[in-house]
Amino acid sequence: MVIPRRNRGKFHHQNTEYGESNLGNKLEIFLPDTTESNILILAGIHGDEPESIVFLSEALRSIPPDELKNPVILCANPDGILRGTRANANGVDLNRNFPVENWTDNPVFYRIKSGEPQDIELSTGTEPGSELETKAILKIIDEIKPQSIISFHSALDCIEDPNNTELGQWIASETGIPLVDDVGYPTPGSFGTWAKENSIPLITFEVPLMPLTQMITNYVPTLIQLLRNNHLPV
């Protein structure tokens, strides 16, 4: 069943605090009733990529709490979302702050939109895993021990799955987004690199550039199946 549209304006799911951001904002996770965690679904690690937070929230608010089978972190970087910045409040790109072999203290550069120079500088942190938000993600993963992870980003228009898993193939088939094994550029200190080093399959769901309303139409049905753990054939 789905929650009637008139009742989707608020959450019916119980949230759990798994940490605090640098500005003291709560880091929240929505946990299923079961103690087993199949897939951790995470969005909002970059504060300038809010689209997936919205359509993931729409999917979560569409199903009753007892139908949630996979844990959800709607926003891993609330300070960045509130301030409209890619980085957290310390100016650190959280997706370059994970404790991995290829972490570097060299700054990372990005651009706001296509056609602009890639010259906006962000820190990777004072050391690997230096940020409160990063520490909290690692702690909750250690606690819930997911079998795999889906991390949302924009807007490269691809499903990056280095392991070419059945789950990645299914997501690509359902959404029509191309399946790739690499985004095509180095990502030192990234969440994906950390997951690989810790033998946890991680799929990066890179949404394409399109209106948010179209994303909701296109992807919420797929996300509902993922939240219910109905994503693979029996």
Hey, which residues are catalytic here?
206
Q: Residue 14: pLDDT above 90?
A: yes
203: confidence class by pLDDT, cuts 50, 70, 90: very high
Residue 37 has pLDDT above 80, yes or no: no
Q: Count of CB atoms within 10 A of residue 159's CB?
A: 25
Task: Say if residue 155 is preceded by a cis peptide, omega within 30 of 0.
Answer: yes
pLDDT at residue 225 is higher than 70: yes
Please tell me the distance from the alpha carbon of residue 172 to that of residue 184, in angstroms, as a whole number.
Answer: 18
Over residues 178-206, the mean pLDDT reads: 96
199 phi/psi in degrees, rounded to 5:
60, 40
Report the DSSP beta bridge partners of residue 39: 148
- Per-residue pLDDT for 234 more than 80? no
Q: Which CATH superfamily is domain 5-227 in?
A: Zn peptidases (3.40.630.10)
CB 197 within 8 A of CB 98: no
Cβ atoms within 10 Å, residue 40: 24
Calpha distance 102→144 (Å, rounded): 26
Report the relative pairing of strands 158-160 and 179-180 from DSSP bridges. Answer: parallel
* Sequence-ordered list of residues with C-beta below 8 angstroms from that of 36, at least 6 positions apart, any chain: none
Q: Token pair of 76, please?
A: 């891993």
Provide the 8-state DSSP code for 123. B
pLDDT score, position 175? 97
Contact of 67 with 228, CB cutoff 8 Å: yes
| Domain limits, the chain | 5-227
